[in-house]
Amino acid sequence: MAPHANDANGSAAGISIHDTRAASVFTVDSPNVTYSNADITSKYTYRTTDVSFKDGKYSAVPKETVYDFKTERKVGKVGVMLVGWGGNNGTTVTAGIIGNRRKLEWETREGPRAANYYGSVVMASTVKLGVDSNNGQDVNIPLQSLMPMVHPNDLVIGGWDISGMDLAAAMDRAKVLEPTLKSYVRKEMAGMKPLPSIYYPDFIAANQEDRADNTVPGSKASMAHVEHLRKDIRDFKSSNGLDKVIVLWTANTERYADIIPGANDTADNLMKAIADGHEEVSPSTVFAVACILEKAPFINGSPQNTFVPGCVELAEKHGSFIGGDDFKSGQTKMKSALVDFMINAGIKLTSIASYNHLGNNDGKNLSSQKQFRSKEISKSNVVDDMVAANNVLYKEGEHPDHTVVIKYMPAVGDNKRALDEYYAEIFMGGHQTIFLSNVCEDSLLAAPLIIDLVLVAELFSRIQWRPHGAPEWKSFHSVLSVLSYMLKAPLTTARIPVVNALAKQRSALINIMKACVGLEPENDMTLEHKLF
């Protein structure tokens, strides 16, 4: 089957793929919503409940707070720079966007396939707009239509990699995509070569050394590295005529950095530690600092502790967006959904045993104990908030046993095998055991998450809020926790609680977007069908 005939523009700096999208599929007819050529402004009443505890009982007081939201309607031209562009995820995202832009179709042994964005919550899911006034049926629209958002086909892609292999060769090395599809995108991708990246051997497994042929001189953190990366971002933005750049780490998992008072515990100490070449400053933290100083949103898609306390403080100081950690693609997404269901159903989960084996380069890197420890932490904490929310099942200090094992098995390649056992107590001393086998085509699940993270981060860079009628507009907090639906270990601060339950994460994202256009939150009461 021949590919679609449209051409894509390619260059060593990145791919520029831009086309115009139609306007929003709906408008909100309300005195609380104002449309101008520049902005959508809404007045929104946020309803919560304040709870206090006194004399052995709770007192609940309904509370209303009125906010104004303002969303810039013009999306502009957006670029994304991937750290680890030549890896499995980076090549898969790039080939996928080229394929979608060109509307490619190709043959497989199971029949013809066409480019799509399946697995992307933004591009392939819907939200309830309301109820049809004629027949009482729900009206659902694509999530991407809820607010003005960049389309992934319009993104300009570039990035860095410690391997200098062009993206066509790197795509072959990854062994993710069908041969016919690769042949259709090979010409564009052969013209793309990652920028040299920083490489500190102590932070990734020694088995990655043979890839490191495209590096910036220097093996420890330095201000020269920060400035080098800042210049790369500025050059990419300028050469492609971009309005903004979003940077996302999809490179190897690093070991955890030790948190050392006087080194990385405050913004000032972190900057001094970088200048001094401190051994506990990781490459991902240097990338984060460069992005913060350039006001380019930075998202960490790996499990290491990139955002040490000093990095978070620096982001807050500069009003720059950061988000992380670790893509939530296969096993962990299933776990966060299943555990949420079991605990909300009143079933007392007592142990979770998770086993994985995979054969891609991520698995090879994770075969080193220090790097595995980073992954183990991010995969082990995903049930904490759900357990803490149920004080009927779990008394203070109680927690399910939770074990995570990852093994490198080259033969299975990118097709990760995830095996889970969930063991729970049920009625009158009984037990329930659930065995779950999940074959995850790792990069084909992660690539749509990368797209979602970029699209949502870009959207929230155009939203401002204020208490109703206040003189000054504000941006969202630098820690962009609204990205948590796509991430295993959502980044938080002392004032931002951890939320891992999948339904709550999606609800938060959708309802904030609805508030920005003056719509009520998702409501499943359906009283119109229950009260007669």
Among candidates 503, 303, 299, which has minimal Cα distance to 385? 503
Catalytic one of 375, 414, 420, 452: 375
What is the Cα gyration radius of the chain?
Answer: 24
SS3 content of the chain, % helix, strand, coil (to 5): 35, 25, 40
Give the CA dihedral 507, 513, 515, 518, nearest 10 degrees.
-130
Q: Which helix (H) or strand (E) holds 180?
A: helix 179-190
Cβ atoms < 10 Å from Cβ of 5:
7
- Annotated catalytic, 57? no
Pairing, β 14-16 against β 9-11: antiparallel
- Annotated catalytic, 182? no
- Annotated catalytic, 488? yes
C-alpha distances (whole Å) from 483 to each of 208, 489, 510 are 29, 11, 11
Catalytic one of 70, 237, 335, 488: 488
User: What number of CA atoms fall less than 13 Å from residue 207's CA on the CB side?
Assistant: 15
Catalytic one of 70, 193, 348, 416: 416
User: What number of CA atoms fall less than 13 Å from residue 516's CA on the CB side?
Assistant: 24
List the beta bridge partners of residue 324: 300
Helix (H, G, I), strand (E, B) or coil at 199: coil
Pairing, β 195-196 against β 244-249: unpaired
Helix (H, G, I), strand (E, B) or coil at 505: helix
Let me know the angle formed at the C-alpha of 388 by 384 and 391, rounded to the nearest 5 degrees.
Answer: 150
Rounded to whole angstroms, how far apart are CA atoms 78 and 124? 21
C-alpha distances (whole Å) from 221 to each of 157, 287, 297, 321 are 26, 10, 21, 22
Pairing, β 415-425 against β 431-441: antiparallel
- Annotated catalytic, 514? no
Catalytic one of 161, 325, 326, 420: 326
Read off the tokens for 471: 């003189």
Read off the tokens for 262: 């006087």
C-alpha distances (whole Å) from 269 to each of 226, 260, 311, 366, 388 are 15, 10, 10, 30, 34
- What residues are annotated to the active site? 326, 375, 416, 488
